[in-house]
Amino acid sequence: MAQVNEKKLLNAKTMEENALSSRDYRFGFYTDIESESIPKGLNEDTIRMISKKKNEPDWMTEWRLSAYRHWLTLQEPKWANIVHPPIDYQGISYFNAPKEKPKSLDEVDSEILETFERLGVPLSEQKRLVGVAVDAVFDSVSIGTTHQKILEDQGIIFCSISEAIQRHPELVKAYLGSVVPVKDNYFAALNSAVFTDGSFCYIPKGVRCPMDLSTYFRINAAQTGQFERTLIIAEEDSYVSYLEGCTAPMRDENQLHAAVVELIALDRAEIKYSTVQNWYAGDKDGRGGIYNFVTKRGLCKGAHSKISWTQVEAGSAITWKYPSTVLMGDDSIGEFYSVALTNHRMQADTGTKMIHIGKNTRSRIVSKGISTDEANNNYRGLVKILPSAENARNFSQCDSMLVGNRCKANTYPYIDVRNNTAITEHEASTSKISEEQIFYLQSRGLDLEHAVSLIINGFCKEVFTKLPMEFAVEAVRLLEMKLENSVG
Amino acid sequence: MFEIRNLHATVDGHKILKGINLKVNPGEVHAIMGPNGSGKSTLSKIIVGHPDYEVTEGEILFLINGKMTNILEMEPETRSREGIFLAFQYPVEIPGVNTSMFLRAAYNEACKHQGADEMDPLDFDVYLHEKMKLLDMDDKFINRAVNVDFSGGEKKRNEILQMAILNPRLAVLDETDSGLDVDSMKIVANGVNTLRTKNNAFVVITHYQRLLNYIVPDFVHILQDGKIVSSGNKDLALAVENKGYDWLK
């Protein structure tokens, strides 16, 4: 069943949108460092080259090649409500890394350290964030991970996926591709063939991770794709909160980011995964920006396990992303909290899938879409309740807010129930940011921007409260910055 | 301190106000009565600068820094910070925005504008509770989102609370009594009376004479078809209550 609510808004005379100039993207700078990349193009030799550069075991190379061979048989999916010129997969370089290979964080090129400092993620011993361990990924490689020692003492593994393949092959072999199979979809197959780096987290049985783990992804080089791969495993009775941030320089051409993230939660384990996505979104006319085609999926494998996705999607020219949860264990819980903001000519087709398999499984979806200028913002979500899922419950709420009269918002909820003990609820709303609300606040002394920011933050509150504190503050600031010139 | 001179206004091309004159001195309470569609709400919205109304003629003067200044070109937020307040007939809901946080933001905007220090959350909380006591309001009120899930009476009381917090020099009450039961009306009227000083003024717009038993006006004006057709003291309101509006035409 697919319901389509399309609403183009008319009549907003007090809200002629001004174009947000690209100087407002303060992460749009480029770091000039010596790097090595492989020639553009994609074939089996490219994949062998990537695998060799990373000194991978044969099984990994073969895994990549089989993914590549399958990818060749696939077509790019066409069902999403997005439009873009064909992607030239032969026009991309699939590997780009700083030339100097640091042995530890102390040896990292000072230019790169400065870059991360400018991004608000200092890595050096003296300045690093206290409560958060950071894995910093620069183009195709992880340049280092902080606080590793403290984590190791508790048996927690937090490192780049490349390092994990070398040092923990048994874990990688057991879980890589177990939630998002190589053949899952076009972009997942591509990622499996050419992924370069990303993070690996392993939380042993009974351990509550003492700090947030986070990965900061930075695309720097031009004409390079970034193919991140992240794998998080939470053993029985463990807990971890993981954060992810992303930025890229401003460029006129589009760049491809195709990630795969897999989460596994065993009995009574809990994984909280938060994203603030702020890839470069292109300029006001839609030139440039990142194509963000991402497959994120969690498996609640154990009974009473819980996976919670929280995302603030504020960047990328195109977002194609559906962080999903497979509720296999009895009494497991899946949650999805999302704010997607699109302005200028950004396009977002994002949502979630909740697949109920186990008994008494519960899922909750709260999605807030905000669209301004000429942007196109879509929620697409699937709630599927299989015959085995006795007493499954789902609650979904999808709200869209439109700012101005040239943007669009669509909601595509799919609900597929195969067990008659299930209860699903779906609520949806589309509203225009109301002139009466703005005027009311203005008549109390708040200026237009302050009024709009209050209204938008109120609209997103339920999602923001799910974010870790510092992330919530950043998210609020990010939305304010993006909306600054969109209303008025 | 406040004067409307020959005010003409239209909305969507329709003439609503056709030459309003009104002069308000500090310490006065003026009541404006009139039948439906006479332009009462339009007048209140224009005073605070609602963008839907177009003033085609006339001016509105307000005493700012010792000088009578035309406020028609001022943004709504500037008028508010200068001390003009409207209690809305239909207060607007703002989901997700905490009432006490909103009140503090509004209060601090006025402080900033007037060159005073902003109030920190703790001091503001004390200040807020003083004002709430005045209006017989409890904590659950200010911990909710602005006007969301408020009853009609609570919304109106929230307007008066905002007025008490912002302490305006000129307050316009647009049918604050409509939809209120007698007890709520007494609470609201009592709040207004407590806030009356010799330095501020009120313009009370109402359909019913009843409210004026509690908020006693110095002047009563009858608005009909976009003009003030009659002015008098509180007895005029009683006459209207008994005879209706037609005899004034």
Amino acid A462 reads E
- CA-nearest of B33, B23, B54 to B170 is B23
What does the pLDDT read at residue A487?
60
The CATH code that applies to domain B2-91+152-248 is 3.40.50.300
Q: How far apart are CA A380 and CA A322, in angstroms?
A: 8
Neighbours of A69 (CB within 10 A): 14
What does the pLDDT read at residue A361?
98
What does the pLDDT read at residue B23?
96
What does the pLDDT read at residue A232?
97
The verdict on a CB contact (< 8 Å) between A442 and B77 is: yes
Give yes or no for B80 touching A (CB within 8 A).
yes
What does the pLDDT read at residue A435?
83
Per residue in B116-159, pLDDT (tens digit) is: 899 989 999 999 999 998 888 888 888 899 999 888 888 998 99
Domain boundaries, chain B: 2-91+152-248
In terms of Cβ atoms closer than 10 Å to its own Cβ (0-12, 13-18, 19+), residue A7 is middle
Q: What mean pLDDT comes out for the span B21-33?
A: 95
Q: How far apart are CA B143 and CA B129, in angstroms?
A: 12
- CA-nearest of A389, A261, A275 to A333 is A389
Long-range contacts of B68-71 (CB under 8 A, 24+ apart): B68/B3
The verdict on a CB contact (< 8 Å) between B97 and A454 is: yes
What does the pLDDT read at residue A421?
96
The verdict on a CB contact (< 8 Å) between B92 and A462 is: no
Is the per-residue pLDDT at B84 higher than 50?
yes
Is the per-residue pLDDT at B69 higher than 80?
yes
Residue of A nearest to B166 (CA): A444
Q: Structure pTM?
A: 0.83
The verdict on a CB contact (< 8 Å) between B95 and A14 is: no
Q: Enter the DSSP assignment of A89.
A: G
What does the pLDDT read at residue A225?
84
- CA-nearest of A333, A352, A345, A326 to A411 is A352
Alpha helices (H) along A168-266? 169-175, 186-194
Comparing CB atoms, the residue among B51, B80, B145 nearest residue A444 is B80
Amino acid B230 reads S
Collect all residues of chain A within an 8 Å Cβ-Cβ radius of residue B80: 442-445
Q: What mean pLDDT comes out for the span B173-179?
A: 89
Collect all residues of chain B within an 8 Å Cβ-Cβ radius of residue A450: 105, 109
Worst-scoring range by mean pLDDT, A433-437, B7-11, B74-78, B105-109? A433-437
A163 sits in which H/E element: helix A161-167
At residue A409, φ and ψ (nearest 5 deg) are -140, 135
Q: How far apart are CA A209 and CA A293, in angstroms?
A: 30
B182 sits in which H/E element: helix B182-195
Query: Residue B227 in contact with residue B18, Cβ under 8 Å?
Result: yes
Query: Residue B154 in contact with residue B141, Cβ under 8 Å?
Result: yes
Written as tens digits, the pLDDT of chain A (488 aa) is 333 333 322 222 222 222 233 346 777 778 877 778 888 899 999 999 999 999 999 999 999 999 999 999 999 999 999 999 999 999 999 988 877 766 777 777 788 888 878 777 777 777 777 778 888 888 877 877 888 888 999 999 999 999 999 999 999 999 999 999 999 999 999 999 999 988 999 999 999 999 999 888 888 877 788 899 999 999 999 999 999 887 777 777 888 999 999 999 999 999 999 998 888 888 888 888 899 999 999 999 999 999 999 999 988 899 999 999 999 999 999 999 999 999 889 999 999 999 999 999 999 999 999 998 889 999 999 999 999 999 999 999 999 988 888 888 899 999 999 999 999 999 988 887 778 899 999 999 999 888 988 898 899 999 998 988 777 888 888 887 777 666 64
Q: Give the up-direction half-sphere exposure of residue A346: CA atoms within 13 A in the CB hemisphere.
A: 35
Across A213-217, A283-287, B42-46, B176-180, the highest mean pLDDT is recorded for B42-46
What does the pLDDT read at residue B75?
94
Give yes or no for B148 touching A (CB within 8 A).
no
Collect all residues of chain B within an 8 Å Cβ-Cβ radius of residue A459: 95-96
Is the per-residue pLDDT at B85 higher than 70?
yes
Give yes or no for B99 touching A (CB within 8 A).
no
